[in-house]
Amino acid sequence: MIPLITSGLLAYGFWVLYERKRLKSHPEFENPEIQGINRRRTRTTLCSHNSLETASQFPYSPGVSRNVESLNGEWVFELCETVDSALELRKRSKALHTIHVPGCWQAQGYDIPLYTNINLPFDSTPPYPPSFNPTGLYQREVVFPPSSNQRTFLTIEAVSSCVYVWLDESFIGFSKDSRVPVEFEITHLLGGRGGREEVARTLSLVVPRFSDGSYLENQDMWNASGVIGSVYLLRTPRLVSISNFNWNVSDEGVEREVEVDVWSEWDSLQLVQETNQSSREEYRLQIDVYKRGIASGFRDHSMIVDDLAENSPAARCPNFGSLGDMSIPLTTSSIPLSPPIHPTPKPKNVRRALKACERTRATVSFSCGSVLPNPYRSYPYKVVAKFEVEEEGSDLWSPSHPFLYSMVLSLYCGNQLLQAESCWMGIRRMEVKDGTISLNNRYFTFRGVNMHQFFPTSLYGPHSPPSTKFIEDDLTIAKGMGFNSIRMAHYPHSQAFYSLASVIGFLVVDEANIETHGEDGGEGARLCGERRWEGAFLSRVVRMVELNRCHVCILGWSMGNESSLGRNHELARKWLKENDETRLVWYEPASFGSEFVFYEGEIIQRETKSRPNQHSTNENLVELSSHFIYFLDWFL
């Protein structure tokens, strides 16, 4: 018996080694252990405004910034039958046809859309996509102006199912996860660190329709492909810049304390050169908080008053329904920004698999060539501002009373404004008491709906994502019909949506771009328990949070939809609890009465729990399986 067990273990060990070697020899688009190459860590949407007025009025609006150049519009395009043929076409010639970006190619006369429910749109075995894999080659000439004092980043807001990127013959990077923006720095490709003369370059994108990521993106919906989000260039200051930020507000009575965590990036090479200089330029970070109030166009929707009594301070507030004075800040606070003297601090709670799935060079598809070392280092700072409100509770945010502030974070060199970033800021008190959600010290009834991001006439495009006006009209209609909550189904949406949800008044459960919908025991269902898919699951959850955590409308994070239940979900849950204690964690399959957990290929039946009554108003939140997960029971 013992020799038999030993032989079995040895055979399993050799199989694991063979599988790892085989995966490492495969291209990135069919290797789940590679999620990105050379892409920047996901961050809050930056706009690099050059005035406080613009920043305070247009948070999350890159299109109004002078430091953002849109690359939307007509691109030359060619649809190839395979990834290899698209890569070869890029090397020897250019595409011949035209296509509009953003927009899926199926809505513009190429290929066909496929609707799936449960089953994948192709027959194959994870992680490999089908041999017939339509692949789009996108190309566009971009003129880069002289910008020796700026860094340049390329942002693609959404692309399905993955993307390879080149600038002329220089490989820029690769990315999966079709619904979260990907960002690459291209400063080093523009002549030194900035570019000293105007030059025209060819930007090329190779977009396979299917990849190993398709096994994680099997949502019950139309399957379409292409560059479905906006593409743009972002320029930020060269020596030092705001690279990311996050905010938190504590409130006691009428006192408010705004605490902003800011990450700035410094050019370490330039700092070394300036060390011996007698004089050094002085930098400072400043935050300004402006009263936004409630957008007057939506005050008629205060019919939803579950969490707002008519005699509450908010209803009697003299600013109820007003826009507030956007020219004079309520409070201003600043700190000096000294050049860092300590080593770059390591990010907390970064798991091994999450780090391992981000690479700096390609595998076998092509050679990256030499990669210049990144001279920029990120350092954390903290800015605190305080102010008081007229009456306690008058400025609390809720769906029926979406009271907002505009928070502007600015970087100065002396008295010169270098960069301004902004976001909507709201104050809300959310608690879980006896399995029930309390919002602003009142019980809350969810009237929720799932929402897909589709254009009404042509799937994702052309001219997708839907315009801000279309999203605003859609949300206004939903608010008028009595809805106050929205679940993203089943992927993160555009930044315009979250911004408008905060302004109009919706609670949102943001959902990671994960669904392996299939029968229990099938390959798709087992992915949540396999170690080689660990980084793929984690990166999609982490990137969603790091992109959207500044939006006040987000009540909780969902780890995906209909992907069974396994060790990779548990790892994602732990990361969420360690990195955001202010929001709930949610996952629908954790609510089922009898659930199977997949762990390293084994099926483990978990403890049976009864599903809560869908029509109960007092059991909207149920804690399951020894604090494993929270489930919000909305019309699912």
Q: Do 492 and 379 share a structural domain?
A: no
Interval 504-528: pLDDT, tens: 999 999 999 999 876 444 554 588 8
Q: Which of 68-72, 89-93, 618-622 has the lowest mean pLDDT?
A: 618-622
Check: CB of residue 64 under 8 Å from CB of residue 334.
no
Q: Do 313 and 231 share a structural domain?
A: no
Higher local confidence (pLDDT), 66 or 371: 66
pLDDT for 633 equals: 35
The number of folded domains in the chain is 3
Q: Return the sign of the alpha-carbon dihedral for residues 493, 498, 501, 507.
A: positive
Neighbouring residues of 185: CB distance < 8 A, sequence distance ≥ 6: 40, 151, 152, 153, 154, 374
pLDDT for residue 401 is more than 50: yes
Q: Looking at residue 561, what DSSP letter applies?
A: S
pLDDT for 631 equals: 34
CATH at residue 283: 2.60.40.10
Q: Do 552 and 410 share a structural domain?
A: no
Amino acid identity for residue 334 in this structure: S
Give the pLDDT band (50/70/90) at residue 342.
Answer: low
Q: Which of 415-419, 450-454, 490-494, 626-630 has the lowest mean pLDDT?
A: 626-630
Instruction: Give the domain extent around 182.
Output: 31-237
pLDDT for residue 376 is more than 60: yes
Average pLDDT, the chain: 77
User: Which of 237, 271, 306 is the last residue before a domain boundary?
Assistant: 237
Give the pLDDT band (50/70/90) at residue 124.
Answer: confident
pLDDT for 114 equals: 87
Phi, psi of 391 (to 5 degrees): -150, 140
Give the pLDDT band (50/70/90) at residue 47.
Answer: very high
Asked whether residue 434 is assigned to any structural domain, the reply reads no
Strand 430-433 versus strand 240-252 pairing type: unpaired
Question: What is the Cα–Cα distance from 582 to 577, expressed in whole angstroms?
Answer: 9
The residue-averaged pLDDT of 440-465 equals: 75
Q: Tell me the sheet residues that pair with 226.
A: 160
CATH at residue 163: 2.60.120.260
Q: Do 480 and 406 share a structural domain?
A: no
Interval 276-319: pLDDT, tens: 454 457 889 999 998 888 874 443 333 233 333 333 333 323 33
The residue-averaged pLDDT of 36-43 equals: 93
Distance between the two ends of the chain, CA-based, in angstroms? 50
Q: Do 210 and 122 share a structural domain?
A: yes
Interval 142-196: pLDDT, tens: 998 876 678 999 999 999 889 999 999 999 999 999 999 999 999 888 864 444 6
Q: b/e for 372-402, b at 16 or more Cβ within 10 A?
A: eeebbebbebebebebebeeebbbbbbbbbb
Asked whether residue 22 is assigned to any structural domain, the reply reads no
Per DSSP, the three-state class of 264 is strand
Which helix (H) or strand (E) is 545 found in, with range?
helix 534-548
Question: What is the Cα–Cα distance from 543 to 535, expressed in whole angstroms?
Answer: 12
Q: Where are the alpha helices (DSSP H) in 41-116?
A: 52-57, 83-92
Amino acid identity for residue 416 in this structure: Q
Asked whether residue 14 is assigned to any structural domain, the reply reads no
Q: Do 305 and 214 share a structural domain?
A: no
Higher local confidence (pLDDT), 454 or 353: 454
Q: Do 266 and 158 share a structural domain?
A: no
pLDDT for residue 71 is more than 90: yes
Neighbouring residues of 131: CB distance < 8 A, sequence distance ≥ 6: 82
Per DSSP, the three-state class of 356 is helix
Asked whether residue 381 is assigned to any structural domain, the reply reads yes
pTM of the entire structure?
Answer: 0.84
Cis preceding linkage at 161, omega within 30: yes
Residue for token pair 């969810």:
446
Q: Do 262 and 210 share a structural domain?
A: no
pLDDT for 274 equals: 52
User: Which of 184, 215, 237 is the last residue before a domain boundary?
Assistant: 237
The residue-averaged pLDDT of 48-76 equals: 89
The residue-averaged pLDDT of 88-113 equals: 88
pLDDT for 255 equals: 86
Interval 541-559: pLDDT, tens: 999 999 999 999 999 999 9
Which helix (H) or strand (E) is 558 found in, with range?
strand 554-558
pLDDT for 4 equals: 63
Higher local confidence (pLDDT), 628 or 453: 453
pLDDT for 582 equals: 86
Asked whether residue 112 is assigned to any structural domain, the reply reads yes
The residue-averaged pLDDT of 257-263 equals: 90
pLDDT for 509 equals: 93
Asked whether residue 15 is assigned to any structural domain, the reply reads no
Question: What is the Cα–Cα distance from 618 to 437, expressed in whole angstroms?
Answer: 9
Q: Do 314 and 190 share a structural domain?
A: no
Question: What is the Cα–Cα distance from 584 to 3, expressed in whole angstroms?
Answer: 49
pLDDT for 502 equals: 94
Q: Angle, to 10 degrees, between the axis of helix 495-504 and the axis of helix 468-480?
A: 40
pLDDT for residue 538 is more than 80: yes
The residue-averaged pLDDT of 384-400 equals: 86
User: Which of 218, 237, 256 is the last residue before a domain boundary?
Assistant: 237
Check: CB of residue 147 under 8 Å from CB of residue 83.
no
pLDDT for 410 equals: 93
pLDDT for 518 equals: 60
pLDDT for 340 equals: 60
Give the pLDDT band (50/70/90) at residue 25.
Answer: very low
Please report, rounded to a whole number, the percentage of residues in the chain having pLDDT higher than 70: 71
pLDDT for residue 64 is more than 70: yes
